[in-house]
Amino acid sequence: MKTALIVSTQPRGFAARMPARLRAAGFRVHAACVRNSLLRHSAALDETHILRQRRLSADLAAVLRAVRPDALIPADDIAAARLMQLHAEADLADLIASSLGNPASYATACSKSAQMKLAATLGLPVPRTEPVADLAALDDRLQHHCPLVLKSDGSWGGTGVVVIRDRADAAAAWAAVSTRPSIAKTVAACLRDRSILPLLLWRAWQTPNVDTQELVDGRPANRAVLCRDGRVLAGVSVEVLQTSYPGGPASVVRMIDHAGMASTAAAMVTALGLSGYLGFDFMLNDATGEAKLIEMNPRATPITGMAVGGNDGATLAEALFRGEAATVTTLPLTTPIALFPGEWERDPTSHYLNEAWHDVPWDDPGLFDAYVEDLSAVQRYHRIKNALLSWRRA
């Protein structure tokens, strides 16, 4: 039996749902994660390895040397970046390249700016994306192109992205994506996540590359693929019906079959020569249905778990290790899917929770209880925060 190692540096998120699906696909499953990660509560794990937030890279390297997994699966952007950096370690280079693909493409995979440049070079449908150096340059661009989307490299989950619809908003938008968060907001994030990682990221903060991107009218959509050495082996596409917050991750989706999304993702995978799980974000034009690529994520994404088996007898485990294409079994295209716990957290009274297929881990009571406890802690944080803000305003 092959061994998969899920790497997660975040306390919550979809990573906790992956072990059961990977086990069903034929893997022995290990996790390398921070101490307070929900991932630790999955009953499908064979072993858990703790990553200390102050020593993420060193601890991760030690885990790789001890486990020598057959597949590495980063579940967030920091995990992907740290794994790619460890390719510089001679004894880990082959392991990382076998799971993540061509090392020459790692820099592009981790840079949204570089991704858009590559896509444009390939002639793929993408919104016009241009770097912007400072507020003066942004204001000049807004004189000719407004509205625009302002995006900073190194952000995820909708952070570092601001839609500018009026030139008067340029200064606030520029500050939001190009300056270090305040220490007050950073401490608040530490309390919310019960983690020192936001503080460590604050201390290591560097001025990011910032781009302007043409605003595409339409609906967000995502495609998740499994690939090996630049070849897509399996994939699934969804249209986003609801997000956790404006511009944030999807909380309700519906399966779609979109040839344009599939061909764009395949072209990027081939050009980069990557392996493993990748996610692609698109905007679907309301009038034409055209899908424009807006960014790529070099890691597993929340919809990755919807593509865990094949209706042709080939599991994704077999596809990954043998380089065989797999036909993915999915829900009917008309069925809305409420992602757990995103939609429940967004609105406990959401009609989707009753009308859609709700992706709840009923088969793992311990994990379900951990999610409930985590949500309760987040709600307590927000109640205290709102009370303090009310007291301050009074």
Instruction: Give the pLDDT confidence of 90-119 residue by residue, as tens digits.
Output: 999 999 999 999 999 999 999 988 999 999
pLDDT tens, residue by residue, 51-79? 998 899 999 999 999 999 999 999 999 99
pLDDT tens, residue by residue, 307-361? 444 333 335 555 666 666 666 656 666 789 999 888 988 998 999 998 888 888 8
Place of tokens 């406990």: 348
The domains of the chain, with CATH numbers, are 2-109 (3.40.50.20), 128-214 (3.30.1490.20), 222-359 (3.30.470.20)
Residue 108 token pair: 């592009």
Average pLDDT over residues 158-184: 86
pTM: 0.88
Q: Given a cut of 80, is residue 378 above it in pLDDT?
A: no
d(CA 186, CA 202): 7
Which amino acid, residue 37? S
Average pLDDT over residues 262-287: 95
Q: Given a cut of 80, is residue 380 above it in pLDDT?
A: no
Residue 92 token pair: 């880990």
d(CA 225, CA 265): 8
Under a CB-based contact definition with an 8 Å cutoff, are residues 250 and 240 in contact?
Answer: yes
Average pLDDT over residues 240-250: 89
Q: Given a cut of 50, is residue 146 above it in pLDDT?
A: yes
Q: Map the chain to HEC letters.
A: CEEEEEEECCCCCHHHHHHHHHHHCCEEEEEEECCCCHHHHCCCCCEEEECCHHHHHHHHHHHHHHHCCCEEEECCHHHHHHHHHHHHCCCCHHHHHHHHECHHHHHHHCCHHHHHHHHHHCCCCCCCEEECCCHHHHHHHHHHCCCEEEEECCCCCCCCEEEECCHHHHHHHHHHHHCCCCHHHHHHHHHHHCCCHHHHHHHCCCCCCEEEEECCCCEEEEEEEEEECCEEEEEEEEEEEEECCCCCCEEEEEEECCHHHHHHHHHHHHHHCECEEEEEEEEECCCCCCEEEEEEECCCCHHHHHCCCECCCCCHHHHHHHCCCCCECCCCCCCEEEECCHHHHHCCCCCHHHHCEEECCCCCHHHHHHHHHHHHHHHHHHHHHHHHHHHHHC
d(CA 165, CA 168): 9
DSSP β-ladder status, 161-164 and 148-152: antiparallel
Greater model confidence, 13 or 351: 351
